[in-house]
Structure 1
Amino acid sequence: MLRSWPLPLSLPVLKADVSHIGALAAPLILTQFAQVALSTTGIVMMGWLGPLDIAAGGLALAVFNLLRTTGTGLVTPTGNLVATAAAAGLETPHAAAAVRDMVRASFAIATLAGLVFWAMMLGAGHALRWMGQDAAVVARTADYLFAAAPGILPLLWFQALRNFTVGLRRPGPLLAITLTAVAVNAALNYVLTVGAFGIAGMGLAGIAWSSTLVSLFSFFVFLLIVRRDPTLRRLLSVRIWKTGRQALWRTWKMGLPVAATYGSEAGFFAAIALLVGALGTDALAAHTVVNQAVYIVFMISVGLSHATSICISRTWAQDDIATSRRYGYTGLGMGIACMVLIGVIYWATPQWVLGVFLHKPDAGADAVRLIAGKLLLLAAVLQVFDCAQNIGIGILRGAGETGTSFVMTLIGYWAVGLPGAWLLSNWLDLGVTGVWLGLTLGLIVTAAQLVMRFRRLIADRSANRESCLAL
């Protein structure tokens, strides 16, 4: 039994692996927390405006996050490609040139995706009206997306730059930049939403304009800082018109399935939001609040997923299967342990968690709070499997496999989760609770498939190496 246990039995080895993954993941997690604080600040402000604005803002964020996540997926493999190229030694001109070309390709893809997504956000309001959403909610959603659309370009540029620095294991002051952005965003949110200093408040649209301005600010500050680093400056090139065809193809080829996988997940959550929206404004507002609580802690999964993926990329390229295996299961165990701990907090102090978002004392907020309390209990279980599937995707990406992740998310999210959510909410009349039960089921199936696939990859790679040694 002990021989089949995936984690290392040696405590010193386990400590070393946790330390290695944690050292890379910690700044990424803190940066992710700081980044999610931007959207959290917006939802807190929506809470001051009322349930209608929470519902509209939640619907807008579902659309925005779908496009943002898909675009982020396109440039995420830049970190892996840069790490692989850097493994040959940055002192060699060939490796340095390869890194620069990968960065140019990443920025070229980010620019193209950003322009396409900008146009899609401008037309999203019309599409939502055809999907059975409340007219008043859709009207405010369209206003939000109009203001948020210009921010998608600098946001994706920031992600391309970030993956370049992470791939070289020199993330720089990402946390400091993002914390500064949080402070700027909070001030802009207040001024543009409720009005101050002679500026008229714009309500929900003010939150979106704040996000757009902060995305632009964050990118240019990060770019200036990276250019001050001698090593990074030597390898950074944003002249996208000089992108080599091979680098562009490699980045696109690896990024497309990652984007499809990320987009599949984000699209699934967007479809869930539409299902909930059809149940009423209060249900959508409650879903938005609890979903944001889950999204905050999900940043732990994102940081661990990136860190574990980068660690595996290096050892997999060196044919160190045993270490790759340990890194994969250690990263997975670290994520699950964090989610269980946070789930206990949800169960113990639900009103404190929800009070951060629902602080307006009126009958509408009370109805939303009642629904949200039930969903938060489900979220404590859901986020364990959400974490597992996200880290599972990162593990497979580190092993150079991205296509199967997309297929597995299609099965888990769309063939199991979404139909399950619809059946449980409508046929069994469980309402929004049924939607979240279906959501949880989809995440369980996805996580199980990804972990099983990693086990198979390790077994196959080990068998192939043993065959070669035998010859």
Structure 2
Amino acid sequence: MSYPAHVRAILVLGVPLVGGHMAQMGIGLTDTIMVGWYGAEALATVTLANTLFFTLFLFGCGFAWAVMPMVASYAAEGDNRQVRRATRMGLWLSALFCVVMFPLLWWSEALLRALGQTPDIAAEAQVYLRVLAFGLLPALVTMTLKSYLAALEKTQVVFWVTVVALPYNALANYALIFGNFGFPELGLQGAAIASLSTHVVSMLVVVAYILAFVRTHSLFQRLWKPDNEMFAQVFRLGVPIGLTSLSETGLFAASAIMMGWLGTIPLAAHGIALQLASMLFMLHLGLSNAATVRAGNAFGRRDWPHMARGGVVALALSACVAAITMVLFVALPEPLIAIFLDPEDPARADIIEMGITLLILAAVFQLVDGAQVVVLGLLRGVQDARVPMVYAAVSYFGIGLPAAYVLGFVLDWGATGIWIGLVLGLAGAAVLLNHRFWFRMMPDLSRLAAPAGNA
């Protein structure tokens, strides 16, 4: 397959995934905007609470993301039984993860206070998280089933499932946070209820679609039946993937904790800048998912030249996206930040001033963040997860976190220093992971067998 053909194939597969991720982030963005309108302190609380929730959620997504390359490889081999087994055990592991993590969300106030957060914000965050804790299971079930569908290249469905959830979430927030449509004004608790119900609706929609239109694998028949062998396989791949995600999200969670030490205004500015950066990061994540599926298919066929060309194209597309994002963040920081704030909020000017600096730094890390997540997708496609896990830990906890602390507090650069630490951690991951794929994995794979075809 030629390079232009690879571009078309990745875009056909990746654009709906990008749209689905953008819509998913749009749900979080809607929460942040509406809570920001409710008040700066509420925004700081939700920033902190969502940081903890999504740290655990992304850790749990390791099992969902393990399903994607496994199903893609089994589908390329035409093995429907293995597709069913892998997806079912992904659902089992997601459910078990939720049981283990539920107490951490339920009793989150003590954890947040131990991490140096103010008693008021920690207490309010726990109120929010005690509702949202019940959303972890439907969120992870949805993610596992989306990975299954994406691996089968049914990416349009992944997109539309999320698009259905987005307006629902906005209306639920509008009704429950502010007390519209006859509902009581519940503030932060209303935002949590809206998010919980959105996760449930998303799960029901994707399950209904699979039951109606994807019957080949009989996915939900005898779902209760254990499968120890496949359980172990998904576990072995999913745990390092989850820990890799935990390393990155842990870095960002730690940055939010450190921002909380600086005060409400830095934490609110951090939340806004991170939401904007995360929204556009979804473009890279969609390309990464497409790279995982394409690499997984090539892995199943033993077609290494196809995999290499696809990897080059995915990274090039990510670099183009990063360039556009950098221009946007540098040229229009103030209007972007102002979207999140009530014009009458007395803290508005201070949040915007700090947010502009952070958004310029976010523009810098788009390039390295895109490079690391796309090559991570390629590595997952060939089911290489353990060494990337180590590289992620070294980059984020060995480079990024210490740099953020030293620059932010020892050198007293404050919020700017913390964000420079984020950039350094992401850059380290990009270098190590690209070296792993191009100079270690590709030469090793190329020696295994001759290409099986160029489908």
Shorter-normalised TM-score: what interval?
Answer: over 0.9
Structure 1: distance between partners of 2:160 and 2:80: 28
- Residue 415 (structure 1) aligned to one of 395, 398, 419: 398
- Which stretches in structure 1 are left out of the alignment for 5+ residues? 1-11, 90-94, 467-471
Give the drift of 1:274: 0.5
Q: Which runs of 4+ in 1 moved over 6 A?
A: none
Structure 2: distance between partners of 1:351 and 1:233: 51
Report if the CA contact (8 A) 1:50-1:360 is conserved. no
Matched, 1:152 2:141: no
Deviates more, 1:290-299 or 1:343-352: 343-352
Q: Which residue of 2 aligns with 1:219?
A: 203
Matched, 1:46 2:35: yes
Post-superposition Cα deviations, 1:52-97, rounded to whole Å, max 9, x if no partner, equal 11111100111011011011112211121112112222xxxxx222
Deviates more, 1:67-76 or 1:233-242: 233-242
Report if the CA contact (8 A) 2:135-2:195 is conserved. yes
Structure 2: distance between partners of 1:462 and 1:176: 38
- Residue 365 (structure 1) aligned to one of 343, 348, 353: 348
Matched, 1:399 2:382: yes
- Residue 365 (structure 2) aligned to one of 366, 382, 405: 382
- Residue 71 (structure 1) aligned to one of 52, 55, 60: 60
Code of the aligned partner of 1:45: M
Structure 2: distance between partners of 1:360 and 1:180: 30
Structure 2: distance between partners of 1:462 and 1:390: 23
Matched, 1:262 2:245: yes
Q: Which residue of 1 aligns with 2:115?
A: 131
Code of the aligned partner of 2:61: T
Give the drift of 1:177: 2.3
Q: Which residue of 1 aligns with 2:446?
A: 462
Code of the aligned partner of 2:27: L
Matched, 1:244 2:230: no
Matched, 1:27 2:16: yes
Structure 1: distance between partners of 2:92 and 2:69: 17
Report if the CA contact (8 A) 1:226-1:233 is conserved. no
Task: Look up the SS of the partner of 1:173 in the other structure.
Answer: helix
Structure 2: distance between partners of 1:404 and 1:312: 18
Deviates more, 1:289-298 or 1:124-133: 124-133
Post-superposition Cα deviations, 1:243-285, rounded to whole Å, max 9, x if no partner, equal 3111111111111110111111111111111111111110000
Q: 1:75 to 1:312 in 2, by over 3 A?
A: same
Task: Look up the SS of the partner of 1:278 in the other structure.
Answer: helix
Q: 1:410 to 1:167 in 2, by over 3 A?
A: same
Report if the CA contact (8 A) 1:83-1:313 is conserved. yes
Code of the aligned partner of 1:18: V
Matched, 1:447 2:430: yes
Give the drift of 1:238: 5.9
Code of the aligned partner of 1:20: A
Report if the CA contact (8 A) 2:10-2:291 is conserved. yes
Report if the CA contact (8 A) 2:76-2:301 is conserved. no
Code of the aligned partner of 1:289: I
Give the drift of 1:463: 4.7
Report if the CA contact (8 A) 2:60-2:242 is conserved. yes
Matched, 1:285 2:268: yes
Give the drift of 1:172: 4.8
Report if the CA contact (8 A) 1:165-1:232 is conserved. no
Task: Look up the SS of the partner of 2:103 in the other structure.
Answer: helix
Structure 1: distance between partners of 2:217 and 2:238: 24
Matched, 1:298 2:281: yes
- Residue 340 (structure 1) aligned to one of 319, 323, 326: 323
Report if the CA contact (8 A) 1:104-1:243 is conserved. no
Structure 1: distance between partners of 2:382 and 2:74: 15
Task: Look up the SS of the partner of 1:453 in the other structure.
Answer: helix
Report if the CA contact (8 A) 1:55-1:288 is conserved. yes
Matched, 1:186 2:170: yes
Code of the aligned partner of 1:61: N
Code of the aligned partner of 2:344: P
Structure 1: distance between partners of 2:449 and 2:146: 35
Structure 2: distance between partners of 1:219 and 1:51: 32
Structure 1: distance between partners of 2:448 and 2:199: 47
Identity across matched positions, percent = 31
Code of the aligned partner of 2:202: S
Report if the CA contact (8 A) 2:281-2:366 is conserved. yes
Give the drift of 1:317: 2.8
Q: Which residue of 2 aligns with 1:61?
A: 50
Post-superposition Cα deviations, 1:156-214, rounded to whole Å, max 9, x if no partner, equal 11111111111112235232222221111111101110112332111111111100001
Q: Which residue of 2 aligns with 1:4?
A: none
Deviates more, 1:401-410 or 1:237-246: 237-246
- Residue 148 (structure 2) aligned to one of 143, 161, 164: 164
Code of the aligned partner of 1:374: T
Q: Structure 2 matches for 1:193-204, cutoff 5 A?
A: 193-204=177-188
Give the drift of 1:460: 2.8
Q: Structure 2 matches for 1:270-281, cutoff 5 A?
A: 270-281=253-264
Task: Look up the SS of the partner of 1:363 in the other structure.
Answer: coil
- Which stretches in structure 2 are left out of the alignment for 5+ residues? 451-455
Q: 1:176 to 1:224 in 2, by over 3 A?
A: same
Structure 2: distance between partners of 1:392 and 1:125: 37
- TM-score w.r.t. the length of structure 1 is 0.92
Give the drift of 1:427: 1.6
Report if the CA contact (8 A) 1:309-1:398 is conserved. yes
Structure 1: distance between partners of 2:125 and 2:242: 24
Q: 1:239 to 1:56 in 2, by over 3 A?
A: farther
- Residue 25 (structure 2) aligned to one of 29, 36, 41: 36
Task: Look up the SS of the partner of 1:242 in the other structure.
Answer: coil
